[in-house]
Structure 1
Amino acid sequence: MSPDGDSPAAAAPKAWARLAELRGPGVPPKALDARALAALAANPGCDRRAVLDGAGVNKAGLASALGSPSAFGQSQFAFARGNAFEARVKADGGAELLTLVHRALDPGAEPPTGAAVPDLTAAGPEGRTARTALALREATEAGGWTLLDHPMLALEVAGAPAFLEPDAVVVHPDGRWTVVEIKSFPMLDGSADPAKVGAAARQAAVYVLALEGVAARLDPAPRVGHRVLLVCPKDFSNLPTGSAVDIRKQRAVTARQLRRLTRLDEIAATLPPDTCFAPDLPAERLTAAVEAVPAAYAPECLSACELAFHCRAQARESGAVTALGRPLRAELGALTDIDTVLATSRGEDGDPGDPTVRALRRAARLRAEALAEGAACR
């Protein structure tokens, strides 16, 4: 039952209506993709990102309206280059892509010669999700190689469904399902930028979780591969090459973090009734709406969230320790603002028996001694 005494089925329309109110009348929702979900899972304590993404708010537009435009995102050139490379990989019915899957993940199977490529078109994301599930079941029962080009998957996030669109899913002759991630960054001498590979692995882990939900509804449940295929340009050419990436760790972490997310309806229930993030509202009202939702800023947000500059300015203004990074925040324990940390290091505040307080004061003494020695040497 919901807090209002409604059944889940009756409460769902209310929750969706509330999220639509937060987005603004007539404002279409922005789809929540796997990249955003991976970033959200990496910071599950940020209610602000959870409710904005869940309500489908365009955070880039919101950041601009707040006066803190974000440079986060992919350039048009990179976007066009990525689309051209993906088309190159999937040409001729995905023959080259399937060859890469066979070589990297399933060399013992019969080589793909004439794979099926089912039509996945349908009305709306719900229709495409159902069509994808049907195509996966039919491909598993039929055997042989099947390529699903841009299937649609659904994953429940904080009590609301998110519709996801991986680059491709391949069904092997033995019925196994494999996620394929196609990226335009190069693979030089068989290896790519570890940071970019890690981001791709976290994104693929979201797709694997959604795919496991589809598999669980079939009897017997097909196996979803814990190794995904990462396809990138080889060296400095436009020729595709593939590498198997084990995403078991990323999958486990992402699943755990998504479970930790507070339900969107619970967050929305704590907000003032007139809270709205419509981009045409005055900046003062938007600022008040954004600040009504607690955030958990960290420097890592700068590369993953459009509102990062606004949240950073807010964190700095309040003197929050999180603005200095999660590792330091973890070391300081109950000391959550910079003024308190500085006062503690000077001996003006804090319990002398606290190990964190002792460490801060010792660090302050060592710093003072080092500065005194440096001044004497000059």
Structure 2
Amino acid sequence: MPPPRKQETALRQRLAELRGPEVPPKALDARALAALAANPGCERRALLDGAGVNKAVLADALGSPSAFGQSQFAFMRGNAFEARVKADGGAELLRLVHERLDPGAEPPAASPVSVPDLAAVGPEGRAARTALALREATDADGWALLDHPMLALDVAGSPAFLEPDAVVVHPDGTWSVVEIKSFPMLDGSADPAKVGAAARQSAVYVLALEEVAARLDPAPDVHHRVLLVCPKDFTNLPTAAAVDIRKQRAVTRRQLTRLTRIEEIAGSLPEGTCFAPDLPQEQLTTAVEALSATYAPECLAACELAFHCRARSRTEGAVTSLGRATRAELGGLTTVDDVLAAAHGRAGDPDDPAVAALRRAAELRAEALAGAGLPGSAPEGVPCR
């Protein structure tokens, strides 16, 4: 077996070949990792993200442009709000951290606050500088604010570099993650879906921060509660809430552990496979289809290739296009044709609970339509809506 360093070099070369020799890699971020962990069975996303392929550009080249992403207005508004939160050396941010996460500690205003310089060359250099700053701040026994630190997290055998909004070191040496969002908190509460997405994103940061902590002796504790900072009501004033991310952290760690290693997926591809966006559309389509995908409607909010995968899923009649919950209820019935055949008694084991439920549903539907004086059933092959 080749030494680990040679294996890593060979993997980087292979991923560069897949991406295209002249195409720079697109770095993974926490949002992508949270979405990747939510769909661990999708080899297509795992490899493309691991290889640094820009999926938005790839989707354009495939003829299925993506509408996924943040608007320029929302991006500018978020940056303006974050700048306000971190103004004056992060005084307001640290006040919120003290109030929501560590009220028993000495107030940040009562002692000097360290704001270390995290500048370095490249993501590897910034990650090393962040680790050193965390070590120094932990030994200093005071408050420290790390603005946009760089953390590294191993994902399917490849490092992903992540940049949380902030990490705070408390006087007792513990660490906590701060996530700043531009959606409002109205009367102390925010949109549950947006809070859930922020919690999953923060869980990725916590996992990466725990890897840094594990290399220190003794290892500092990383808070399982993160601080979510948002605008208060309809103003631009910051407010905050502590969010417990233990569940999201456990789920994310489990899903990332289950991911197939990238080198195994890359090794299964035909020789010469490449995802460079300047290749002919037919060649790109063949390359993308060589990777198995697990599409679900949730992908539309998390993946740039969702429209392409949805079209393919519908063409194949896959039940996953109806949602993961529906797919789970249908057991071994993997296509819409299989479901309709089972419902009409043309296929399927009658003792299978899914088949029995489908046939009972078809009977009830026919009875309801007959009672209303309507045709007893829809034409075969046309699903109920």
Distance in 1 (CA, whole Å) between partners of 2:311 and 2:211 is 39
Q: Distance in 2 between matches of 1:80 and 1:275?
A: 38
| Identity among equivalent pairs (%) | 78
1:105 counterpart (92, 101, 104): 101
Shift of residue 376 of structure 1? 6.0
1:85 pairs with 2:81 = yes
* Residue in structure 1 matched with residue 240 of structure 2 by the alignment: 242
1:167 corresponds, among 165, 168, 192, to: 165
Instruction: Give how far 1:254 is off.
Output: 0.4
1:375 is paired with a residue of what secondary structure?
coil
Q: Distance in 1 between matches of 2:191 and 2:351?
A: 45
1:171-229 per-position Cα deviation (integer Å, ceiling 9, x unaligned): 00000100000000011111111100000000000000000000000000000000000
Aligned AA (1:309): F
What whole-Å deviation, never above 9, does each CA across 1:244-288 have from its counterpart, x for those lacking one?
A: 000000000000000010000000000111111111111111111
Q: Secondary structure at the match of 1:327?
A: helix
1:30 pairs with one of 26, 34, 43? 26
Matches within 5 A, 1:335-346: 335-346=333-344
In structure 1, the residue matched to 2:49 is 53
- Which SS does the other structure have where 2:372 is aligned? helix
Separation in 2 of the partners of 1:12 and 1:376?
66
Q: Counterparts of 1:163 and 1:178 in 2: how far apart (Å)?
A: 18
Instruction: Determine helix, strand or coil for the equivalent of 2:153.
Output: strand
The Cα shift of 1:353 comes to 2.3
Instruction: Say if 2:90 is the partner of 1:94.
Output: yes
Structure 2 counterpart of 1:291: 289
Aligned to 1:316: 314
SS of the residue corresponding to residue 73 of structure 1 reads coil
**2:45 paired with 1:44:** no
Match of 2:383 in 1: none
Q: What is the identity, as a one-letter code, of the residue corresponding to 1:145? A: W
Measure, in 1, the Cα distance between the counterparts of 2:282 and 2:205: 38
Q: 1:223-372, aligned counterparts within 5 Å?
A: 223-372=221-370
The CA distance in 1 between the partners of 2:8 and 2:307, in whole Å, is: 33
Shift of 1:70: 0.9
> C-alpha separation between the residues in 2 aligned to 1:43 and 1:55?
17
Q: Which runs of 5+ in 2 are unaligned?
A: 376-385
Distance in 2, Cα, partners of 1:352 & 1:7: 55
State the shift of 1:7 in Å.
3.0
> CA-atom RMSD, angstroms?
1.0
* CA–CA separation in structure 2 for the residues paired with 1:139 and 1:126: 20
TM-score of the pair, normalised by structure 2:
0.96
Query: Residues 26-47 of structure 1, C-alpha deviation per residue, up to 9 Å, x if partnerless?
Result: 1011110000000000000000
Q: Deviations over 1:308-327 (max 9, x none)?
A: 00000000000001001111
1:90-239 alignment to 2 at 5 Å?
Answer: 90-113=86-109, 114-239=112-237
- The 2-side partners of 1:362 and 1:233 are apart by 51
Instruction: Report deviation, 1:12.
Output: 1.0
Residue 380 (structure 2) aligns with: none
Q: How far did residue 350 of structure 1 move?
A: 1.3
Count the aligned residue pairs: 373
The residue aligned with 2:373 is 375
Counterpart of 2:325 in structure 1: which amino acid?
P
Aligned-partner Cα distance in 2 for 1:190–1:19: 46
Task: Give the distance between the partners of 2:343 and 2:204, measured in 1 at CA.
Answer: 43
Q: Separation in 1 of the partners of 2:254 and 2:129?
A: 29
Q: TM-score, normalised by structure 1?
A: 0.97
* Matches of 2:6 and 2:17, distance apart in 1: 18
CA distance in 1, matches of 2:304, 2:347: 37
1:66 matched to 2:59? The reply is: no
Tell me the secondary structure at the aligned position of residue 348 of structure 1: coil
Pairwise CA distance, 1:25: 1.2
Q: 1: CA distance between counterparts of 2:29 and 2:374? A: 58
Letter in structure 2 aligned against 1:251: R
SS in 1 for 2:104: coil
- What is the CA–CA distance in structure 2 between the aligned matches of 1:133 and 1:278, rounded to whole Å? 35
Cα distance, 1:127 vs. partner? 0.4
